[in-house]
Chains A and B, each alone.
Chain A
Amino acid sequence: MFYPLAGKLIPWFAIPAALLFATGLFVGFFIAPTDFQQGDAYRIIFIHVPAAWMGMFLYVLMAIYAGIGWAFNARLSSMMASSLAITGAMFTAISLITGAFWGKPTWGTWWVWDARMTSTLILLFLYIGFISLQAAIDDARRADRAGAVLALVGVINVPIIYFSVQWWNTLHQGATIRLLQKPTIRGSMLAALLIMLAACWLYSVAVVLIRLRCIILEREQNASRFAEVGV
């Protein structure tokens, strides 16, 4: 029932995602002015910040789905968590790599063991741990439960990443955009950043749905293969 619906929804996310990526990059490179402090190096922000946000959002989402799948024995929810993990890990990796490319010209170093970067690296390890733990367990439902425990325990890391720039003296700059205050950024820069964020969201929904459909089919095939052998 869910499977064909997801199939119909995918293009409605994939095509706007592509259009928004193009628009966001256009605004980011052609309209947004050069930053007077960081020069053009700041333009890394348009991929770095959306990727970092997606890495955190998708982790929380993954933990919620994994938790629901565990608590209510909802298979589809657990499969959703498995599907989210890879895209989340990918965005976290992008945020770390683009961060290194930004750190080198502005701080003079690719990497420091600063609170925000270290906690983001731990986020990547949590994703990798979740993916490999699930891959190591043959029984799908047991893999789901084990993954759910890891995902839920690891959620504590997300607020640590978010508040790390306030709690500790870090090299990483503080938040530019806050919920209750006016952002300290030019309008066109903010527009490019938000368009890129929307593009990343739509992209994530599309690839997560495609992967979810694969996971559903794979598990069905495994089940029918076991049935044929008579296990």
Chain B
Amino acid sequence: MNWPDLSMGGYGFYVWGSYIASLIFFVWEVVSLRQRKRALAQQQQQQSSKPVSTPVLRGSINETTS
């Protein structure tokens, strides 16, 4: 094992730049997915807290759609 030279022999800007840019993409994807999940969970909570539509209405919908 040898400690890497942080300046990357003068190429530091390019090497670290490309890894930081990649990291930003990975973090962006994970964070946006987490937000999407959270938004979905909230919507589901709202839907389940709403009064359930009456069975009569449900039945009529099924008749018209089927």
Q: Would you call A30 and B2 a contact (CB within 8 A)?
A: yes
Q: Would you call B11 and A90 a contact (CB within 8 A)?
A: no
Does A39 belong to the interface (CB within 8 Å)?
A: yes
Q: Tell me whether chain A's interface is mostly helix, strand or loop, or mixed.
A: helix
Q: Would you call A221 and B30 a contact (CB within 8 A)?
A: no
Bound-state CA distance A127–B19 (Å) is: 23
Against B, the Cβ 8 Å flags (1 = close, 0 = not) of A19-58 are 0000000000111001000011101100110010000000
Q: Which of A147-185 contact B (CB under 8 A)?
A: none
Q: Would you call A94 and B4 a contact (CB within 8 A)?
A: no
Q: Would you call A211 and B15 a contact (CB within 8 A)?
A: no
Against B, the Cβ 8 Å flags (1 = close, 0 = not) of A186-229 are 00000000000000000100010011011001100100100110
Does A98 belong to the interface (CB within 8 Å)?
A: yes
Q: Would you call A230 and B3 a contact (CB within 8 A)?
A: no
Q: Please give, as numbers and ranges, the residues of chain A lying within 8 Å of B47 by CB-CB distance.
A: 221, 224
Q: Tell me whether chain B's interface is mostly helix, strand or loop, or mixed.
A: helix
Most chain A beta-carbon neighbours within 10 Å: one of B5, B10, B21, B47: B21
Q: Please give, as numbers and ranges, the residues of chain B lying within 8 Å of A134 by CB-CB distance.
A: none
Given A41-B8, A41-B14, A97-B18: A30 in contact with B29 (beta carbons within 8 A):
no
Given A31-B1, A210-B33, A210-B37: A39 in contact with B10 (beta carbons within 8 A):
yes
Q: Which of B1-51 contact A (CB under 8 A)?
A: 1-5, 8-11, 14-15, 17-19, 21-22, 25-26, 28-30, 33, 36-37, 40, 43-44, 47
Q: Would you call B44 and A104 a contact (CB within 8 A)?
A: no
Does A64 belong to the interface (CB within 8 Å)?
A: no
Give the A-B contact count at a CB cut-off of 8 A. 87
Bound-state CA distance A90–B31 (Å) is: 14
B interface, how many residues as a size bin? 20 to 34
Given A41-B15, A101-B14: A94 in contact with B22 (beta carbons within 8 A):
yes
Q: Please give, as numbers and ranges, the residues of chain B lying within 8 Å of A76 by CB-CB distance.
A: none
Q: Please give, as numbers and ranges, the residues of chain A lying within 8 Å of B36 by CB-CB distance.
A: 211, 214
Quick one: closest A residue to B65, CB to CB?
A227
Q: How far is the CB of B62 from the nearest CB of chain A, in Å?
A: 9
Q: Would you call A90 and B25 a contact (CB within 8 A)?
A: yes
Quick one: closest A residue to B33, CB to CB?
A210
Q: Would you call A90 and B29 a contact (CB within 8 A)?
A: yes
Q: Please give, as numbers and ranges, the residues of chain A lying within 8 Å of B22 by CB-CB distance.
A: 47, 51, 94, 97-98
Given contacts A34-B9, A97-B21, 9 further A-B contacts (CB under 8 A): A30-B3, A31-B2, A40-B5, A40-B11, A94-B25, A101-B14, A105-B14, A207-B33, A213-B37
19 contacts between A and B (CB under 8 A): A34-B9, A41-B9, A41-B11, A41-B15, A43-B8, A44-B14, A47-B22, A94-B22, A94-B25, A97-B21, A101-B21, A105-B11, A207-B29, A207-B30, A211-B33, A221-B43, A228-B53, A230-B57, A230-B64
